[in-house]
Amino acid sequence: MERNTILAIVLSSIVLIVSFVIQGVLYAPKPQSASEPVSPVTAIDTMDDRLSGQQLADAFPPAQGTAPSYAETTMTAVQGGILTAGSSADTQEAFVSLRHVTIDTDILTVVLTNAGGDVVSWKLKDHKDKDSSVDMIFAGNSEARAFSIAFGDLDAAPVSELLHVNQITPLIVEFYRDFTILSGAGTEERFRLIKRYEFKPNDYMFELTVTLDGGFSKHSFNFFGNAYTLSFGPQIGPRFAKLDSHYEYRQYFTFTNGRRRNAKVNEIIDNRPSWAAITGKYFTFVAIPYLAQFSMNFSDRAEPGLPSASRFYLQRPAANISKIEDTYRFYLGPRSPNILANYNTGNNGFNIRDTRLDEVANTRGILAPLEVVLKWLLIRFYSIVKNYGVAIILLTMLIKILFFPLTKKGSEATMRMQALAPKIKELQDKYKSDPKKLQLEMGKFYQQEGYNPISGCLPMLLQLPIFIAMYGLFNNHFDLRGAVFIPGWIPDLSVPEAIWLFPNDFRMPLLGWNALRALPFIYVGSQLLYGKVTQMPGQQSNQQMKMMLYVMPIVFFFVLYDVPSGLLIYWIFSNLLTLVQQLIINRYVLAKRAAQAAAQPEPVIAPKKKKK
């Protein structure tokens, strides 16, 4: 029995030795070229060439809350930043293949890649960009790489090595990979990078957890002063031709100590704001870091194939600990106050409160309260007629009705000015060589007649703030995006209409027009008609009044050519309604004058005495 056992051990040893010899001869490792650099940080992967990338993810999932296992590993290299390509890159491709993971929620379709564990597409199902859904990640010539991790500072290239994929649930996915660091003493320190994405069924916000786990050994995550840099870019969608403030623009905000502040581009922000945002006309990106220490940076660094870039960087400072686990929440969706306000009340997938994210969409300035009132009225009218174009007309009618008393008073003052014009002309001729005396006599004359020369201009001055507030409303109100007034002609009240688009993206020299529009011409016609009807007798020969009547509408034609069509609809109907009001007021004033003249007794003329 003992002899058989000894014989079995000897035979087994011979078999093992022969196997190792054969393996060493036939499958010898490829020698490293002396010209290839040695990376101080390298990726390591589980050796099992029998498993595909998905099988590896299933076979070696990251342990939750425990140190990663490094059994049966070999070193390969990572590219980008301080990480350099190594000789075993070809071996790495055998273990993990390139994959794209699609997350499908009620309102989003998100595509992620295991090349760095980044987001490459973020489509909003309920919002259209021409014939397709709005993609909030606007890339240039290369594939987008949003929410990237770079081991280093702002200049470090993001990790682009293929990571393992662990699909925990349909809405939760993890990307992970093991790395080694060559310390100053020449020893290897190993850690695992984990990027965990968690989505909610009906939420534009998601949670990203970044983990650097060095196991139970003492560790130092310090790459040029940072543990890592998390970046978003290169641009938020939807696609645009240029940033011109009419079609699209970009603003950068931070929220610190309860106040929204404008942020500068290419400047380090180290006062740890509650959140930071890149906003466009109708969509926004918001980053909420749950960190004790960090710094931020906005950048417009260009990229081939992009008309403009808007990037966001968050730098996580270095740490001498064995494990880093950082949580972020990102909002990528409509710049709608109603949706963003849900993050104040807890009515969201993450049950967070009091974030004040709606400040991203709030209007600032002295006319902001007026814009809020006009928006509320517009929404009320829309709830009745279900057409924003008709709602704008109804809002214009309401404003004209409310201002009718002032308009009537201004018109009466204008007509009173006509009656006083001869006496004013006499004073001007009498004191034309003495301006100070003329001003004094004019003041006495106005006081004697009980006339205020400003009263005729008051209605126009009061309506100017409403026009400015309307411009802000039509240029920023999210619900107007894609709002149809007249199908086939005015399909979107938030942008200029067009009856003919110039071919081949042609733009008119100097003016920059890319289409022929009808509303600006209609506006000029309404403005000229309005001025002709409201013109006072005697003004036809006044050169200044002629300029106001004919030249100013032409100037405004060029100024307003590319404004949102909703604004021109408001102005056109405002002119037409004012015209109707003026005709009514003129008839009323003339009837009043006739009645006053009829009520006055005729003057008695005394007979002339005959000369003796």
pLDDT, tens digit, 9 for 90 and up, residues 296-340: 999 998 888 888 999 999 999 998 888 999 999 999 999 999 999
Lowest-confidence pick of 98-107, 204-213, 510-519: 510-519
3-state secondary structure at position 295: strand
Amino acid identity of residue 141, one-letter, is: N
Average pLDDT over every residue of 28-56: 40
pLDDT confidence of residue 380: 94
Task: For residue 5, name the pLDDT band (cuts at 50, 70, 90).
Answer: very low
Residue 548 confidence (pLDDT) above 90:
no
pLDDT confidence of residue 610: 60
pLDDT confidence of residue 149: 96
pLDDT in tens, 455-464: 666 666 777 8
Residue 476 confidence (pLDDT) above 50:
yes
pLDDT in tens, 172-185: 999 999 998 876 66
Residue 9 confidence (pLDDT) above 50:
no
Structure tokens given for 153: 């500072």
Residue 18 confidence (pLDDT) above 80:
no
Q: Which pTM was predicted?
A: 0.75
Task: For residue 440, name the pLDDT band (cuts at 50, 70, 90).
Answer: confident
Q: Which residue has the tokens 């998905």?
A: 54
Mean of the per-residue pLDDT values of the chain: 79
Which residue ranges form the domains of the chain, and what is each CATH number?
Answer: 102-171+192-360 (2.70.98.90), 368-597 (no CATH)
Q: Cα–Cα distance between 476 and 467 in angstroms, integer? A: 14
How far, rounded to the nearest angstrom, does the alpha carbon of residue 561 sit from its chain's CA centroid? 23
According to DSSP, the residues that pair with 330 across neighbouring strands are: 206, 287
**What does the angle CA 62 – CA 63 – CA 69 come to, to the nearest 5 degrees?**
80
Residue 292 confidence (pLDDT) above 70:
yes
Structure tokens given for 79: 């590219």
pLDDT confidence of residue 543: 57
Q: Cα–Cα distance between 542 and 560 in angstroms, integer? A: 27
pLDDT in tens, 564-591: 898 899 989 988 988 888 888 878 777 7
357's CB contacts (< 8 A; 6+ apart) are 275, 286, 331, 340, 341, 343, 344
β-strand pairing of 295-299 with 311-319: antiparallel
